[in-house]
Copies of this chain bind each other. A is one copy, B any other.
Amino acid sequence: MKHIISVLVQNKFGVLSRVANLFSASVGETQDHSISRMTIVVEGDDPILEQINKQLNKLVDVIKVVDFEGGEFVDRELVLVKINVTSHTRPEIMQVVDIFRARIVNVRERHFTVEVTGTEGKINAFLDLMRPFGIKELARTGKVAMARA
């Protein structure tokens, strides 16, 4: 079972890396510049999750750990993807881009760079549709999440 965990940490040198030692995660600023938020995606059952929570709460500079499991939340990720394009495939690619409310952010003769945002499922569906055209390059930000309430 996949869990999304949001961790607020003091924005100090070393803290991020100590948490990153446990997982890979997206790290970004919050409304307070001295505090960063890491969003972590982990797969595991309840005992494993409990263990992770304990480990995180042990770190001195961790301010707050929120496991979104069970609660309602919005999660989003951004992906930049460079796709091979020919005069023949162009219309179809543009249609899919439109359906996914993605955006073409750069156009060259032989490729498009597309920005797509959404949940992991939406992004993977988009990438699956683009794969047959040829994906030249791909960069994902990692997830951020926010409680709906």
Write the residues of chain A forming the contact surface with B, with a CB cutoff of 8 angstroms. Answer: 6, 11, 14, 16-18, 20-21, 24-31, 36-37, 39, 74, 76-80, 82, 105-106, 108, 113, 115, 117, 135, 137-146, 148-149
Partner of A146, one of B14, B80, B117, B148: B80
CA distance A142 to B30 in the complex (A): 11
Nearest residue in B to A32 (C-beta to C-beta)? B138
Judged by DSSP, the binding face of A is: strand
Partner of A139, one of B39, B80, B115: B39
Judge whether A17 and B27 touch: CB under 8 Å.
no
CA distance A78 to B37 in the complex (A): 14
Judge whether B105 and A28 touch: CB under 8 Å.
no
Contacts A138-B29, A148-B108 given; does A74 touch B80 at CB 8 Å: yes
CA distance A25 to B113 in the complex (A): 22
Contacts of A82 in B (CB 8 A): 146
